A and B are shown apart, each in its own frame.
Chain A
């Protein structure tokens, strides 16, 4: 049974390895989030925002031409059609309502590709809360449109200039700011990472993805369970959402596509399960890329959203017990998959998502298998990267 335990562990991964200064915040969240989430008041507001503001349910789209090419029945769960262009908003809508119920006045967040930052800035604008987003200085350069979107929405974007200047450093910086402002501030973590209860809380907000897949697939195929679900994994929030209601249905294969960067063994990679070992990152025990001395290795991926040296503890557990298959997709292959989807289905995907699409070429399946790929985001934000790559 895959389920978080009382101390916040999935198997041996998870927990809350945090400085004492954050203990009251984490306790407050742990003690109240389940109760608040279960309340009718919360659910009414959450469901209504998901429907009318986010635009849920998102379609489960049967991709005819891609299906023909690959000889399987391939469906795309269209999270790219969510307001703000990715699944990230499912979580920020949930957490902002939670933050309000906790009486918080100010929101902070980290962001990699900028999708979570935009989704956070959006809900802060919606609720009239002050918003500060920490973003790696390198990511600020390569995701300019999202930076400007956050600013238009009224958020303050603060560069993280330490380390690799990407998502891990933005997360460090957001944690530091939370330590410095623990009373009035809520930290909206964007992925299934961080100290307990974040990984489970974020997964639950994202679990609407697999909840909808089940009912939509039932309608289209007469069955709730596909043969395979594929999602890309950086920290792993869209994958957690797409896998959530299938964790304990072993006949559904779960495939996680990590970013191999320039190649798993190139020294420029973010393929965490291929390269990582057990350790502690951002407050939880997980698998991370590190040196023998326990220093965190700076990852590389062409997609800012997968450029992270760890994975959420639930994914570390899925990997550890062999419940999910992990594939590592190189930059070049992901870019080509993005072009393929654009040309064959008229959908320009986020480069993160393109990794999941390329996974089709890396796994074995039977002819006629029903495969659901979580189309986690759209590619507008990646236009610069597509242009620079130029292979189209």
Chain B
């Protein structure tokens, strides 16, 4: 059982996952950001691996990706930065990244490296389920890594069941038809969708992402799931911070209250 599975064994509600972009705002901010997220009381850290063409992301995360790449960030550099992360960070860590940089690095080498540094799970938004099953599932299992798939309001019940069957860790519920950072607040349609999925009694825990930015949206989303993921709003916070640790603490505490 990896750290993610242990977390959800012990905590069923108001799980907070924070996404940040590695190597942003400064190239050496990766570890300080992770340590601050953990010490502020978040439950999961999601490390965004920067990519030149992030098609599922809105302007805020695109921008952070560009800055990180301009800073010289790469997957190789990231593994260097987080090689000793388990000395200071004990909460689950998930890597989120687009497929192309990972394929160039080599999928097996990547998974092996994830296991070695203590990463618990992966979110690869452009890896389709079928491709995962055909090519990579055995490898993920070999290295003890959870794989998280996304679902959206458009995802059929049948497909949600399939995704549930092949996920380990948690399911990432995209809150609306949208890219990251688009809208905030929850609409009646979204709540209907959350309730519909909630009633399916899936085996995996569910976290809601996209459009979660503060205590109110976090609390609302948590009513219909095991918790939520914050990305763009967090990126905005660190982008404008003078004292990185203090800003992160203030922001996360304001969300979990």
Contact = CB atoms under 8 A, between A and B. Distances in A.
A24 B156 CA distance: 8
B100 A19 contact: no
Interface string B98-117: 11111111000000000000
A280 B151 contact: no
Interface of B: 51-59, 62, 66, 69, 74-76, 98-105, 125-131, 149-152, 154-156, 159, 163, 174, 177-179, 182
A24 B98 CA distance: 20
A295 B150 contact: no
A162 B62 contact: yes
Interface string A177-190: 00111110000000
Interface string A317-350: 0000000000000000000000000000000000
Nearest to A298: B52
Contact of A17 (B52, B58, B99): B99
Contacts of B154: 21, 23-25, 182-183
Interface centre among A175, A280, A282 (most CB of B within 10 A): A280
A16 B128 contact: yes
A6 to B, nearest CB: 11
A290 B100 CA distance: 9
Interface of A: 7, 15-21, 23-25, 162-163, 168, 172, 175-176, 179-183, 277, 279-283, 290, 292-296
B177 A180 contact: yes
B75 A293 contact: yes
Given A280-B99, A280-B126, A292 B178 contact: no
A183 B103 contact: no
A295 B128 contact: no
Contacts of A162: 59, 62, 66
Nearest to A293: B74
A292 B66 contact: no
B243 to A, nearest CB: 29
Given A17-B126, A23-B155, A172-B55, 9 more contacts: A20-B151, A20-B152, A20-B163, A21-B152, A24-B154, A176-B55, A292-B104, A294-B101, A294-B105
Contacts of A25: 154
B181 to A, nearest CB: 11
B156 A176 contact: no
B128 A17 contact: yes
25 contacts: A7-B130, A17-B99, A19-B55, A19-B126, A19-B150, A20-B152, A21-B150, A21-B152, A23-B155, A23-B159, A25-B154, A162-B62, A176-B55, A176-B56, A180-B178, A182-B154, A183-B154, A277-B104, A279-B100, A280-B103, A281-B53, A282-B55, A293-B101, A294-B101, A295-B74
Contacts, number: 109
A175 B177 contact: no
B164 to A, nearest CB: 13
A279 B104 contact: yes
Contacts of B151: 20
Contacts of A176: 55-58, 179
Nearest to A173: B55
Contact of B76 (A20, A21, A172, A293): A293
Given A21-B56, A290-B100, A293-B104, A183 B155 contact: no
Contacts of B152: 20-21, 182
A168 B53 CA distance: 8
Nearest to B150: A20
A162 B252 CA distance: 29
A17 B159 contact: no
Nearest to B105: A294
A15 B127 CA distance: 11
A129 B126 CA distance: 30
B179 A294 contact: no
Interface centre among A162, A280, A290, A294 (most CB of B within 10 A): A294
- Give 8 closest A-B pairs by Cβ, nearest first: A294-B104, A294-B101, A293-B74, A20-B150, A295-B52, A24-B154, A19-B56, A21-B152
A294 B126 contact: no
A56 B59 CA distance: 42
Contacts of B128: 16-18, 20, 23
A172 B150 CA distance: 19
B208 to A, nearest CB: 14
B53 A296 contact: yes
Nearest to B182: A180
B53 A163 contact: yes
Interface centre among B55, B58, B103, B104 (most CB of A within 10 A): B55
Contacts of A19: 55-56, 125-126, 150
B161 to A, nearest CB: 14
Nearest to A288: B100
A295 B69 contact: yes
Contact of A280 (B58, B74, B100, B163): B100
A144 to B, nearest CB: 25
Contacts of B179: 176, 179-180
A254 to B, nearest CB: 28
A293 B73 CA distance: 10
A379 B103 CA distance: 40
A78 B165 CA distance: 54
Given A279-B104, A290-B104, A21 B177 contact: yes
A209 to B, nearest CB: 30
Contacts of B98: 280
Given A163-B66, A183-B177, A294 B103 contact: yes
A165 to B, nearest CB: 12
Nearest to B97: A294
Contacts of B156: 24
Given A17-B126, A163-B53, A279 B178 contact: no
A232 B193 CA distance: 47
A295 B66 contact: no
A285 B209 CA distance: 28
